């Protein structure tokens, strides 16, 4: 059973939603928590909430879309804390646009935030983890990282890429004590659809009806932490929408017919 007590945990995308709920959950587990986001005011709000639980809370503001800022953040955390035991690679952005209409700049933006930023952090932290013989990566993907879905071409592609990278990383480094848990949430009541970008990279500003009726972030975060404690590798989180994963896996023809006619919202 993995213990988060006295571990240094770094959470990206921690200014709201799943990241904020993870910070609350892990602070309660006795972790030293580092929260990051590009939104300083929201991070400060989360930090104040966490101080009710523990004083061992730290915040670092940087933008996942800026590779140089991501590298600088990793260097700062390692300099200030000496090590990171657990990286919760949670920060990300979604998309709501047809592939044919989506600017390639939007594809690159989503891939930079959802894929490359986490890879930069993992590569920066991994050598120290290997040297200590222990390290854990918790990675927030999505069920559309398991299959394609309308209006999500860039988002789905970036989340598919996370599986390829982290499964390879785990295969290479399991013998060094490195562990990975991939999370595939379905509908969680967060702002991800509000901040999702359209074909031109502009924030959509509207919550999807499905998202509004999703499970609360704290329920999602509790399952994530429990899954890491027991060493699960690939975790589905959500409600009835998870049937899409099983349809894709076991009833592919039904899935293809289904997804062609499904509302993307």
| Residues with active-site annotation | 155
Residue 23 CA: distances (Å) to CA of 7, 8, 43:
13, 12, 11
Angle subtended by helix axes 153-173 and 117-132, to nearest 10 = 10
- Cα–Cα distance between 251 and 155 in angstroms, integer? 24
Between vectors from CA 219 to CA 8 and to CA 38, what angle results, nearest 5°?
Answer: 50
Cβ–Cβ under 8 Å, residues 209 and 166: no
Cα 88 off chain centre by: 7
- Among 174, 167, 173, 159, which residue's Cα sits nearest to residue 234? 167
Phi, psi of 185 (to 5 degrees): -70, 150
Residue 65 DSSP symbol: T
């Amino acid at each position: 059973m993995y213990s988060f007590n006295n571990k240094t945990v770094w959470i990206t995308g921690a200014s709201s939603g799943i990241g904020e709920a993870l910070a609350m959950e892990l602070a309660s587990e006795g972790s030293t928590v580092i929260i990051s986001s590009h939104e300083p005011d929201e991070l400060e709000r989360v930090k104040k909430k966490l101080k009710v639980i523990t004083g061992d809370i730290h915040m670092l503001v940087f933008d996942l879309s800026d590779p140089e800022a991501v590298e600088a953040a990793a260097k700062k955390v390692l300099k200030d804390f000496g090590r990171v035991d657990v990286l919760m690679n949670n920060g990300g952005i979604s998309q709501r646009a047809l592939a044919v209409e989506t600017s390639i700049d939007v594809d690159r933006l989503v891939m930079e935030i959802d894929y490359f930023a986490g890879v930069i952090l993992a590569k920066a932290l991994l050598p120290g983890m290997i040297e200590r013989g222990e390290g854990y990566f918790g990675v927030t993907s999505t069920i559309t990282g398991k299959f394609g879905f309308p209006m999500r071409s860039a988002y789905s592609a970036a989340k598919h890429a996370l599986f390829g990278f982290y499964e390879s990383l785990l295969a290479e480094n399991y013998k060094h004590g490195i562990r990975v848990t991939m999370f595939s949430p379905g509908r969680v009541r967060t702002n991800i659809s509000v901040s999702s970008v359209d074909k031109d990279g502009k924030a959509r500003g509207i919550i999807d009806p499905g998202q509004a009726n999703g499970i609360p972030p704290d329920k999602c975060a509790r399952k994530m932490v429990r899954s890491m404690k027991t060493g699960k590798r690939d975790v589905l989180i959500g409600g009835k929408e998870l049937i899409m994963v099983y349809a894709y896996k076991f009833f592919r023809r039904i899935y293809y017919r289904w997804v062609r006619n499904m509302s993307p919202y």
